[in-house]
């Protein structure tokens, strides 16, 4: 039921009184956006509620400073994240554009001012309230956009890092195999050229992912192309490429009733390639073991190698751009990016990934549902 028409009310007080009606219009607008069509109504409403409460709080703060004769103050950079900043980050993750984000604030502003005009009939002396409201809305919008752009840039950096990271192994395979062809022009040429063909095909799949990203909104979930995959064939092809990429390592593949699985073959191979590459570069032993088995309703892939990870390293392994250590060439290498990629792939399949380090072995296990 609508609130009775007040005879005189400050705009900040009016917003508090009619918050439910304001939020209803804001939520209706937001859920008309394609990116939020399937979002929880309660979650969308809660986001707007926090932003609206913050706007009212800031208006009260400005009113108090004005009455005390104190200058207005901006938010201290050391303060925790504001509701507006949190809203901007969330909308970036939801896949909205910056134009759609700004449109949400435009709708919120228009709704408040329309209701206030119709119910309170603001007078010229209320101009200060109107200015304060517009200033707080503009400040919230600015904070949301800044955080939105930070979030978009974060995912852009991750994606570019992923592409550079994943292209290394197949490119190494091509380069080393080409060198072998040069040295052994008439010896085992067919076997070496087959490796080149497989590695080139993998690069093609990665470039497909790049084109797919270009057509998607930043922060969108990883898309999958699931088919019935012959796991043994897919794993053997990928291991051949990895053996060519890391000739100084012995990469052993064990297959126990893998059968077929409903997965994205390219993504599955990408995950295995990342785990094996990490093990080959960072492991202390010469052998990397890859075990693949079909279990009840799931596919289990396990990669293990000699080595040790500290508790501190384990805590950061799935964070991109954080987990680094020296590879076997003594160069700084990013260990966390490969595992971050694996986690994204496993999560997209609805599976689980875990890592353990004990008894001188590092073991990463991926479980993919196969139903």
Instruction: For residue 164, give both structure tokens.
Output: 């550079």
> Would you state the pLDDT for residue 350?
92
The C-alpha atoms of residue 280 and residue 245 are separated, in whole angstroms, by 10
Give the per-residue pLDDT at 328.
Answer: 42
Phi-psi label, residue 337: left if phi above 0, alpha if psi -120 to 50, beta otherwise: alpha
Closest CA to 159 of 344, 353, 369: 344
What is the pTM assigned to this prediction?
0.55
Residues of the chain with pLDDT under 70: 1-8, 62-80, 161, 164, 182, 185-188, 209-221, 320-336
Q: Encoding tokens for residue 145?
A: 């956009």
Asked whether 107 and 36 are in contact (CB, 8 A), the reply is no
Number of Cβ within 10 Å of residue 140's Cβ equals 24
pLDDT at 147: 87
Tell me how many degrees the CA angle 254-204-249 measures, rounded to the nearest 5: 35
Estimate to the nearest angstrom the gap between the alpha carbon of 176 and the chain centroid. Answer: 34
- Each domain of the chain, given as residue ranges in start order, spans 1-220, 225-371
Contact 258, 238 (CB under 8 A): no
Query: What is each CA distance from 8 to 119, 230, 268, in whole angstroms?
Result: 10, 73, 65
- Structure confidence at residue 249 (pLDDT): 93
pLDDT in the model for residue 363: 93
pLDDT for res 278: 87
pLDDT at 331: 45
Instruction: Tell me yes or no: is domain 225-371 CATH 3.30.565.10.
Output: yes
pLDDT at 64: 62
pLDDT at 340: 84
For residue 334, what pLDDT is reported? Answer: 47
Concatenating the DSSP letter of every residue in 220-266 gives PPPP---EEEEHHHHHHHHHHHHHHH-TTSEEEEEEES--EEEE-HH
Q: Name the nearest CA neighbour of 72 among 141, 125, 139.
A: 139
pLDDT of 128-142, one tens digit each?
A: 888 888 888 988 888
pLDDT tens-digit series, residues 24-58: 999 999 899 888 888 889 988 998 999 999 999 98
């Amino acid at each position: 039921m609508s609130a009775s028409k007040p005879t005189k009310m400050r705009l900040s007080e009016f917003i508090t009184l009619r918050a439910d009606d304001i939020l209803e219009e804001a939520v209706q607008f937001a859920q008309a956006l394609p990116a939020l069509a399937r979002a929880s109504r309660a979650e969308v409403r809660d986001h707007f509620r926090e932003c609206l409460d913050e706007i009212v709080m800031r208006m009260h703060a400005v009113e108090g400073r004005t009455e005390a004769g104190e200058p207005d103050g901006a938010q201290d950079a050391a303060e925790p994240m504001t509701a507006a900043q949190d809203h901007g980050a969330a909308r970036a993750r939801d896949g909205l554009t910056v134009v759609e984000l700004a449109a949400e604030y435009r709708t919120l502003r228009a709704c408040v001012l329309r209701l206030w005009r119709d119910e309170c009939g603001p007078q010229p002396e209320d101009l200060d309230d109107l200015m304060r409201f517009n200033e707080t809305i503009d400040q919230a919008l600015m904070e949301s956009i800044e955080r939105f752009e930070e979030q978009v840039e974060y995912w852009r950096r991750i994606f570019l890092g992923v592409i550079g990271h994943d292209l290394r192994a197949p490119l190494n395979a091509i380069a080393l195999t080409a060198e072998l062809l040069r040295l052994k022009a008439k010896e085992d040429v067919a076997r070496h050229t087959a490796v080149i063909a497989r590695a080139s095909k993998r690069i093609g799949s990665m470039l497909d992912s790049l084109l797919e990203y270009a057509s998607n909104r930043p922060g969108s979930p990883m898309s999958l192309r699931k088919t019935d995959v012959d796991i043994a064939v897919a794993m053997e092809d990928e291991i051949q490429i990895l053996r060519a990429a890391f000739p100084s390592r012995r990469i052993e593949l064990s297959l126990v009733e893998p059968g077929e699985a409903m997965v994205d073959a390219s993504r599955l191979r990408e995950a295995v390639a990342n785990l094996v590459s990490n093990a080959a570069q960072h492991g202390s032993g010469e052998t990397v073991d890859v075990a693949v088995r079909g279990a009840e309703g799931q596919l289990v892939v396990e990669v293990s190698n000699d080595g040790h990870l500290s508790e501190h390293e384990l805590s950061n392994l799935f964070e991109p751009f954080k987990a680094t250590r020296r590879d076997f060439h003594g160069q700084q290498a990013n260990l966390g990016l490969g595992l971050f990629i694996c986690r994204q792939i496993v999560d997209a399949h609805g599976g689980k990934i875990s890592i353990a380090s004990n008894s001188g072995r590092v073991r990463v296990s991926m479980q993919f549902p196969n139903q």
